Chain A
């Protein structure tokens, strides 16, 4: 038999005006299990709290109910007071007779009756409640950043500058990402590489950063504060420790005509290469697919010319396990390839545009490379088919973006601005050329953005045609662009020398697979989902994993950098304490009765539920049951409602508590 104390607060007159608090206290005293009840003017005041503490001691109370305002207001206050009196704070509850009663009802009789009922319900809740101890989780103060684009670089630098160790993993041979490919950046037209490469060098030189390029995430285990991440280091065929980065191997490599991915396939590179001259690390890799040595076993020139003997054809993929406490995911984006319908994707292709079959239809990133001083044309705008300078260039916006009929409904956010930038760069370089832009509307919400766009239209003479393009085809050496101008209300055809498509921003290939390894959720396009669209835009639902950059949704550079720094700040907050303390309202499994159907695991949004093997003393597998990682559990209780046998139970909201409350109705 429990000994519960009920304290009914007048809240000045806020409650007592409509609720007969004395009666409520009296009725409470008659509820089975209540050992003491009283009413008091201000329970939250110091004397009120003292009253509570004294009563706990005097009447040997084992649970406390304060009938007062909303628990959202003072639950913490009273739980602290109860704790000070020697009770477990979770055995202190509040009955909300102010917001839910005295303030919303006028009839004194009805309000008093309701207040009594509320108290009765809550007494049952306290009676069936359990002592709970806060959950503590140790924190490994080392972070993993996945992706070495501007987002990953920024996050890694911020965390490292705060004094924590960081592991930065990049899939490609060099960090830098897409930003390193850009020519100039809007809205200031400063050179992308000029602002990017110093940051790349900072990463390489930072004592707190361990950089793994040409590496991928193989497996992720553990939970917030305690992840074990297996990193796969792909065989570079060049020993990073020995290589001095002299570059002789690259100049001597006999196979030089391999389309360079960094230049969107428009420049050439040898089989042993660094993607671009400012690459970090400046250590080449051998592209085994295209290397004569690997394909036929004959060549070996690079090994012969390498002074330090760094070239190693026998190198294998290696794996390391990194212990980290937090993970920042910054895997970035790719541009939508529109010539075909991607396998298994909800997105349709744009076969009618002839992309992929007509060489002079290129995407925005290719145009960036053409306009870049370090690009394949040395910064001259020359079209791919015949190297001529295009005099009429058509830019088409929203290719794939905002195209519901093609399966993508979102806006790619950066295209309006970079297309405007492209028209300017083009106009600066080809003075007698004409740029046309097909667009739906120009979206320019950013500092200095609209001014920039207006400059493209008003000063740089780009012709903006509001409308979409239906079809393009080659006619002679021209590309016929058939479209509409909805402002004039006519169909338009332009014979263009070059067409630039502002194709949609999409998550990187394999984003879904990485999400599955990390146990984070992603939307139908494979963009990673934040925990809350407004208030937790950086956190993943899975505790300890944070998002930065375009992997979460299309973003421009300033937004990406902001989010990366925000993610870094979140990591630092986590690392500020040695132990992570969590509310003990988490689910627990009754292993005796769990039959391992794992319905709970299927509905858990946090990935908190694991499969656990139960073995007998001989080590034979008896059964598999669910196990809740208390460090990860969010405490929603969806698992319990789903479990048919109720073998999983949410502390603080047990079936026994709820049933008793319903019984008391």
Chain B
């Protein structure tokens, strides 16, 4: 009686990072979707979403960049899948603004010389996996459960905020990553810094800030007993992965400034902080691994903090 479930299929906007520093995210996403038999068709001729800089400089430009990309995506069948949290945020923000503001929409439509695809559904990889494909089906599809792997799931700033734009989960207390991890057989840890900022695009302009913020995240994950951190954003990945060595150098001493301006803190000092390496995984890397995709095709070689010792230790390689 019930019609057979159609094969899921998506159009795909990788974004610049996924074709550059975050290449592992791109290839693991493709590998994962292939393993799950979910269609993924890259939007032809896509270009940069404007990321964080554009909207700080020129609002019309930033909206137009995304609007044009969306109208390109409209040409490809299926909801638009986005992996990068920043691209996702920009595309959704654009749709949100243009839906709310007719004047802006008209300006943008003049700029891009065509209608803005404000209703094209834009979906983050996380919601595709957890909701559209479904946790139950995902759990069924697991070939190699990530048993014993303690993962700190890191959401960062953009995935859920502001709540009316991404509409992904509870904006301050989400659970979609944890749910996903459980479905993959891993153990999500409870930790404090999963919603804090990593410093994001200050990575070049003010590395000091990035070191401080990223250190707080890494340290918090270690305190919580995490083996690794799972991210869904190439920028977060960059900061947390590439800078681990620098962070150790800067904050190796026990008297860290982790907690900023503290009123009457008596907690300073104490034992030297834990200095473990914390491998950083993309959500798709872990998921693909669990689906039995060969680890060689997931880009573990190209990251700085080598995850292989951990994976070997957990007998996942």
Contacts and interface: CB of A to CB of B under 8 A. Distances in A.
Verify that A and B bind, or say they do not. Answer: yes
Interface of A: 341, 348-352, 357, 392, 405, 434, 436, 470-471, 473, 475-476, 478, 480, 490-495
Nearest to A492: B261
Contacts of B191: 473
A494 B172 contact: no
Nearest to A474: B192
Contacts of B173: 348-352
A475 B265 CA distance: 12
A352 B172 contact: yes
A351 B170 contact: yes
B57 interface: no
A493 B172 CA distance: 18
Contacts of B171: 405
Nearest to A472: B192
A628 to B, nearest CB: 44
B204 interface: no
A357 B191 CA distance: 12
A36 B170 CA distance: 75
Contacts of A475: 192, 223, 267
A349 B219 CA distance: 27
Interface in B259-298: 259-267
Interface in B164-178: 170-173
A405 B160 CA distance: 13
Given A493-B261, A494-B262, A470 B172 contact: yes
B199 to A, nearest CB: 14
Given A350-B173, A480-B192, A392 B267 contact: no
B111 to A, nearest CB: 32
Interface string B142-181: 0000000000000000000001000000111100000000
Contacts of B266: 495
B80 interface: no
B195 interface: yes
Interface residues of B, number: 20
A493 B259 CA distance: 7
A475 B223 CA distance: 9
Nearest to B268: A495
Interface in B208-254: 223
Nearest to B190: A357
A638 to B, nearest CB: 34
A434 B263 CA distance: 11
A209 B261 CA distance: 60
A201 B172 CA distance: 47
Contacts of B172: 350-352, 470-471
A494 B265 CA distance: 7
B261 A491 contact: yes
Contact of B170 (A348, A434, A471, A492): A348
Nearest to B191: A473
A493 B256 CA distance: 15
Interface of B: 163, 170-173, 190-192, 195-196, 223, 259-267
A492 B195 contact: no
Given A475-B223, A475-B267, A491-B260, 8 more contacts: A357-B190, A471-B172, A471-B196, A480-B259, A492-B263, A493-B261, A494-B263, A495-B267
B267 A476 contact: yes
Q: What is the predominant secondary structure among interface residues of chain B facing chain A? A: loop
A436 B264 CA distance: 12
Contacts of A351: 170, 172-173
Q: What are the 4 A-B residue pairs with the smallest beta carbon separation, nearest first?
A: A351-B173, A473-B192, A352-B172, A352-B173
Contact of A341 (B170, B196, B261): B170
B221 to A, nearest CB: 12
A536 B122 CA distance: 49
A350 B163 CA distance: 14
Nearest to B173: A351
A470 B196 CA distance: 10
A489 to B, nearest CB: 12
A180 B195 CA distance: 41
Contacts of B190: 357
22 contacts: A349-B173, A351-B172, A351-B173, A405-B163, A436-B263, A470-B172, A471-B195, A471-B196, A475-B223, A475-B267, A476-B267, A480-B192, A480-B259, A491-B260, A491-B261, A492-B261, A493-B259, A493-B260, A495-B259, A495-B264, A495-B266, A495-B267
Contact of B267 (A348, A478, A491): A478
Nearest to B172: A352
Nearest to A434: B264
Contacts of A352: 172-173, 195
A471 B192 contact: yes
A361 B108 CA distance: 49
A482 to B, nearest CB: 9
A391 to B, nearest CB: 9
A493 B257 CA distance: 12
A495 B265 contact: yes
Given A480-B259, A494-B262, A349 B267 contact: no
Nearest to B263: A494
A362 B261 CA distance: 24
Contact of B262 (A436, A470, A473, A493): A493
Contacts of A473: 191-192
A492 B191 CA distance: 20
Contact of A490 (B170, B261, B267): B261
Nearest to B260: A493
A651 to B, nearest CB: 48
A500 B78 CA distance: 49
A100 to B, nearest CB: 41
B202 to A, nearest CB: 16
Contacts of A392: 263-264
Contacts of A493: 259-263
Contacts of B264: 392, 434, 495
B262 A495 contact: yes
A311 B266 CA distance: 55
A426 to B, nearest CB: 16
Contacts of A490: 261
